[in-house]
Each structure stands twice: as C-alpha cells, then as structure tokens.
Structure 1
Amino acid sequence: MESGKLLKAIIESAIDGIITIDNRGRVESLNPAALKLFGYKLEEVIGRNISVLMPEPDKSSHDGYLHRYQSTGEKRIIGKGREVRGLRKDGSTFPFRLAVSEVQYDDRVIYTGFIHDLSKEKEAEQRLKEYAAELEELVNERTKSLKKMLHALSEAKEEVSLSLLKEKELNQMKSRFVSMASHEFRTPLSSIQLSSVLIEKYAEPFDNPHIKKHVSKIKNAVGNLTTILNDFLSLERLEAGKVEPAFTPFDIVKLSEEVTEEMQMIAKEDQNIIYQHTGIESMVNLDQNLLRNCMINLISNATKYSGEHTFIEFNTEVTDTQCIVTIRDNGIGIPESDQKNLFQAFFRAHNTGNIPGTGLGLNIVQRYAGLMGGELHFESKINEGAIFTLSFKR
C-alpha cells in the first residue's frame, strides 16, 4: 500500500509527462505534467485514442504503427528515445522526446510513454544559430570595410612615394585612418569577440559542430583585425614621436613567463613555446611595456610562420654587461634575397603566401629596441627557421 502511494506521488509530481494507453491505443491515464503540455483536462482525453494528441501524418498512421509494434515485437528504447511532435488542444504543435515502455499489468499489456518537452531547447538552439549568423555577417562587413581602407592606403603609399608632397599626404591619410580605426573598430570588435565567446559557452550543451566552426571563424577574423589595428596604431605613435621609453627595474623572468603563458594560449595545435632563462641575475632596467610588445611580436611571428607540432624556443639571459632575448623557430625561414628589406615598414617576404600580416611588426620591434638603446639581429635560412635576438646594454 505504501509503495503504491509513493509511486503515485512520484508520477503526479514528475516534471516530464507520463501517459499510459491500452493495447487498442486508448488513453488510460495522464499525469499533471502531460495534461499541462497538451492543454487538456483529464476527462477530455480518458478513453480517447492517443492519436488525438498527434498531428498529421502521425495521427492517421498511429493504429498501423501500434499494430506493427504488437505483431513484430518492435521495441522502443527507454531513456533517450526519439524526437516526435505533439498536438495541443489549441491546435499548436511542439517537439518532445518520447520513450515507450511495454508493461504487464493485471494480466494485460499497457504501454507507457515518457514525454520530455524540447520546446525551450529547440528555441534556444535556433536563437544561437541566428545569433551566430548575425555575428558572422557583421564581422564580414567590418572585414570588407577595413580591407577596402587598407587597399586604399596601399595605393596611396605607392603614389606619394614620387614626391615629398605626396609623402606628407600619405602620412595625413594614415593618421586619419588610424584615428578612425581605433575609435570606430575597437569597440565593436571587442563586443564581437565577447559575444563569440558567450555563444561558444552557451552552445556547448548542443554539441553542434556548425556553431563551433562559425564561432571559430569569427574569433580568428577578430584576432586578425585587432592585430592590424595594433600595428597601425603603434606605427603612427612612433612616427609622430609619441613613444617615449619609461625605464624602470623589473624581473625579466616573471615578464617572460607571463608572455609565454599568454602566447601559448593562441599558438597552433601542438605548438609548444619553451622558455628558459640563463644566469642568476633577472632584474633589468628597461621599458617593460615596450619589451613585452617586442617579445609578443617576435613569438607571434614564430608561431605564425611555423607549422603545427613544432617547438618555439624563447630564451633570456642577463649578464654583467647585457640583457639578451632570443626567439628561435623552425618555420619557413626568410629568403636571402628578402633579408635586406626585412625591417622596412609594410615589407613582407615573398614566401609568406596567404599567411596574414601587415609587414609592420619587425619594423616596430626594431624601433622599440632602438628607443631602449638596444639592437635587433636575426639569422635565417629558407625552410630552416629563423633566430631573432634582442640585445640591450646594462
């Protein structure tokens, strides 16, 4: 008796709907959750064929389905079940997951259906798909706009190289562009990046590869655009004489470990950045922000121009007379014919192909090093990687 009361209490308080029918498909019972889902009162459906709760074509074919179930012994898996649609009293339909169980009860067979409403899950999934599509379209529009501006800037550079007057015009154009890009693109890019992260988080329960693919494309596009903006802003500040080093003592090992951790997060698959410090002394007196920018730029190049499953060696050394920073990769290398122009603004080696970049990074690193009284050197052979070395006097 007590177990019967307990079972009845469990069924009536269940969140999912539970329906039982006899071997002719007539409804025998519905729990409160099922009545709420379909919008009926108990007396309105008791004794009626279960097909009243089904939209077409399931409604017309249900008796045949029940006959096949009984004659062939076909079984439905309890648990995950299958997705079907239900018909409410008001004529609307909704998706739910159905699991069917055959039960022997009082010398007869009844069928119990367990119903889990999927309406909210389907609505959330659709909203995520629409949001991802909107974000991708927005990024594409911003990307096209920025590419047009960059293309216009490149064309202007070639024209103004013919005279000092046109050189001045180019600088003015670059200043306007950088100012516009910084204000007009940084805020929406940050919003897009944050939204893509949230979409990725909220979409995890659905395990939808299409959402993951498009969110990844959005994040990569935003990352590329942010790098372009940072390079142009740094160049503009350098050319305008707005960059003045602030020398302060700091621990180069701590800085390098932070940079390594940060860059490892955005490295390619199975790329490993190996950091090592040589020497007992670790305190240096340089501009920490400028040196950090130099490290990030050089390591970013190393990961960009190296393949997956590779190592990037990042070393620092502090002696009595020098502070040395070395980044070594085994990537595509720099052709000998291009090496003499490597530190020129906007120059890129001819073997970079479709690898994204502005051609400004090394120019910026060299100028930052010079502001701190240091030098930038490199060694490279085609398809054998490159070694970049920053050296500063103590």
Structure 2
Amino acid sequence: MENTALLIAIIQNAIDGIITIDENGIIELINPAACTLFDYQSDEVIGNNISMLMPQPDKDAHDDYIFRHRQTGKASIIGIGREVVGLRKDGSIFPFRLALSEVQFAGRKIYTGFIHDLSKEKEAERRLKEYASHLEELVEERTMSLKETVKALENAKEDLSLSLEKEKELGQLKSRFVSMASHEFRTPLTSVKLSASLIEKYAQPLASPNVSKHVNKIKQAVSSLTVILNDFLSLEKLEAGKEEVSYNDFDLVKFSEEIAEEMQVMAKQNQNIIYQHTGTKSTVNLDEKLLKNCINNLITNAIKYSGENTFIDFTTEINQHHCIITVKDNGIGIPEADQKHLFEAFFRAHNTGTIPGTGLGLNIVTRYAGLMNGIVDFKSVINQGTLFTISFPLS
C-alpha cells in the first residue's frame, strides 16, 4: 500500500505530464501537469480516446495506428523522444516532447506517455531565429551600404584625382604667368624710376616744389609696385619649391643698420626707425637674402600701418641660444578675430581699409623664417600697435 501511495504521489506531483492508455487508446489516467497542459479536468478526458488531445493530421495517424494494432495484435513503441503537437480544449496547439513506454500489468498492456512541454523552448528558438534573421538583414543592409560607400569613395577619389590634376595644371599656369608678368613689369618700372630721377635732376635749377612732390610720388609708387612684384616672385618660388637656403656668416649689426637706413627713405613724415642691438656678439650664420626679405616686410608693414610722427623700434639680439629680431610699431593693430588667419596667403585684416597691400608679406616671412628653422610670433592690440618677433636657434 505504501508503494502504491508513493507511486500515486509521484505521478500526481510530477512536473511533466503523464497519461496512460489501454491497447485501444482509451485514457485511463492523467496527472495534474497533463491536465494543465491540455486545459482539461481529469474527468473530461478519462474514458475518451487519446486522439482527442491530438490535432490533425496526428489524430488520423493515431486512429490508423489503433486500427492496425487491432488487426495484427502487435504494437510497437512509437514516438520515443519525438516532438509532437498537442491540442488544448480551446483549440490552440502547443509543442511537446513525447516518450512512450509499454507496461505489462494484470495480464494486459498499458501504454504510458511522458509529456514535456516545449512551448518556452520553441518560443526561445523562434525569437532566436527572428533575431538571427534580423541580424542577417542588418548585415546585408550594412554590407550593401558599405559597398555603396566604397563605390562612392572610389568615384570621389577619381573626381578628386581629376580635380587635383586640373588644379596642379592651373597652379603651374598661374606660377608661369606670375613669374612672366613680374619679370615683364620690372623692366618698365625700372625705366619709370630712372626717368623720375632724371626729371628730378633736370628740374633742380627750377627749384619747383611741385615737381619734387610729384617726382617723389612717382618714386614711391614705383617702390610699392616693386615690393608687390617681389612678393609675387617670392611666392612663386616658394610654391614651386625652388627657394633654397644659402647659409653664410655675416655681421648682423651692420646688416641691420643698412636695412634701417634703406627703409627710412620709405617712412612717412616724421616717422623714425630706431635700431638697437643687444649682446656682445654680432655674427650670425643665416641666409642674408631671405632674412632681409623678412625684415623688409615687417618694417614695410610697420610703416604702412602706423601714422606720421611715430617711432618704429627695430631690434636684434644674439644670446647664448638664439638670434632674435623684433619690429614694433604703434599703429592700428590687428583685430583679435583676424589674428588666427594672419599668416595665410592673400589674407588682410578687416581694419586695413584703403591701405594698399597684397596680403602676401607675412606669409612669405613665416615661410622664409621656417626655411631657416626660425619661428615667427606676434602680439597686437587694436590702436596700440603690433610687435613681431623672429627667433632663430643658434647651432
């Protein structure tokens, strides 16, 4: 009795569903787990054919099996561990794994089915397949997008190559034009300057202030045009990579005094260039031509952007590690918003107004200084002036 009670307790509390049928497929026992799965009460199924719990086509297949069993008297264990589908009372179906065993009891055969619900596993598989399918679609979309991007990049690369080639050709044409035009303009300008000097000489006996005034205007205009042409030629050589540094030792003080004297001629009325040198040494090893261009540009700017009756401080210094050159004016200064663009070619600050210029000078200065391993820096305040510094390391 205890064993029987234990067996009943096990069946009634089993997690999986358990159903027993006779040789004719009539249900004799169903445990609570199976009732829950099929949504029936036990008295609704006991005494009925097991096929009531099967959807088509499994229902007909089971009926055929019962018919063959009755004809032959033989039964084979079918569907062991097989995945099948169950039919609930409300007509819905669910998947489960069926294990079937045959038991000989009291001179007859009893078949016991063990039912393990697969609804959660199947739902998880379905979601996994959907997720995998979604991933495949994403991968396909990303792959297609990547292919389109690569194709677009290849097309852009071809377009860019064509554009660069055309730009290169245009640059070469521009350089040749600038070089040719600059050289062609220099000859007539030299003639104009010479003629102005001769006019001044021959007009001296007349002592006419108007003649002197206009001759000086001609000379100043020629000097300005010459500076512009020199800037264009310098830029053309820099762009073409033709500018080479030629180092040599020279006396920086004598060199600077000559520059200050030459530039003083270009100064405005009562504008004075004050030169000073600091340090016991005066010899440096740099490229005189490039350095002179740098200093001339800085002093020219100081003259242009400062008013009459002002001082332009021009200093040189040779210390233990550096050669330092500064040019300071008390002019209009550089707007803070423009300072980051100051060394760009053809850039001019917004407060220059009608003051003539090409916007090339400072670009050339920083590139020439860079060729000699120098660094250009500046400080500027609107309406208070600007200080430019070029620093060269001493080897």
Give the alignment's TM-score, normalised by structure 1: 0.57
Contact 2:220 2:266 in 1 (8 A): no
**Identity fraction in percent:** 69
Residues 320-359 of structure 1: matches in 2 within 5 Å? 320-359=320-359
Question: Residue 248 of structure 1 aligns with which residue?
Answer: 248
Give the Cα–Cα distance (whole angstroms) in 1 for the partners of residues 343 and 163 of structure 2: 22
SS of corresponding position for 1:356: coil
Residues 87-102 of structure 1: matches in 2 within 5 Å? none
Shift of 1:354: 1.0
Greater mean alpha carbon deviation, residues 190-199 or residues 219-228:
219-228
Corresponding letter in the other structure for 1:174: K
Contact 2:179 2:236 in 1 (8 A): no
Shift of 1:169: 4.3
Shift of 1:280: 0.5
Question: Residue 115 of structure 1 aligns with which residue?
Answer: none
SS of corresponding position for 2:317: strand
Corresponding letter in the other structure for 1:292: K
Shift of 1:163: 4.8
Q: Could you report, residue by residue, the CA deviation over 1:321-360 in whole angstroms, capped at 9, with x for unpaired residues?
A: 1110011000000000100000000000011111111100
Shift of 1:384: 0.8
Corresponding letter in the other structure for 2:249: P
Give the Cα–Cα distance (whole angstroms) in 2 for the partners of residues 305 and 212 of structure 1: 25
Shift of 1:288: 1.4
SS of corresponding position for 1:181: helix
Structure 2 unaligned blocks of 5 or more: 1-161
Question: Residue 212 of structure 1 aligns with which residue?
Answer: 212
Shift of 1:178: 1.9
Give the Cα–Cα distance (whole angstroms) in 2 for the partners of residues 334 and 248 of structure 1: 35
Shift of 1:246: 1.1
Shift of 1:374: 0.7
Shift of 1:176: 2.4
Corresponding letter in the other structure for 1:178: V
Aligned residues: 234
Give the Cα–Cα distance (whole angstroms) in 1 for the partners of residues 169 and 341 of structure 2: 24
Give the Cα–Cα distance (whole angstroms) in 2 for the partners of residues 300 and 258 of structure 1: 15
SS of corresponding position for 1:227: helix
Give the Cα–Cα distance (whole angstroms) in 2 for the partners of residues 169 and 230 of structure 1: 23
SS of corresponding position for 1:373: coil
Q: Structure 1 265/213 Cα, relative in aligned 2: closer, same or farther at 3 Å?
A: closer
Give the alignment's TM-score, normalised by structure 2: 0.57
Question: Residue 195 of structure 1 aligns with which residue?
Answer: 195
Question: Residue 297 of structure 1 aligns with which residue?
Answer: 297
Answering whether residue 355 of structure 2 is matched by residue 366 of structure 1, we say no
Residues 75-86 of structure 1: matches in 2 within 5 Å? none
Which aligned segments of 4 or more residues in structure 1 are displaced greater than 6 angstroms? none
Corresponding letter in the other structure for 2:221: A
Give the Cα–Cα distance (whole angstroms) in 2 for the partners of residues 191 and 325 of structure 1: 35
Structure 1 unaligned blocks of 5 or more: 1-161
Shift of 1:167: 3.0
Answering whether residue 293 of structure 2 is matched by residue 282 of structure 1, we say no
Larger Rg: 2
Shift of 1:207: 2.8
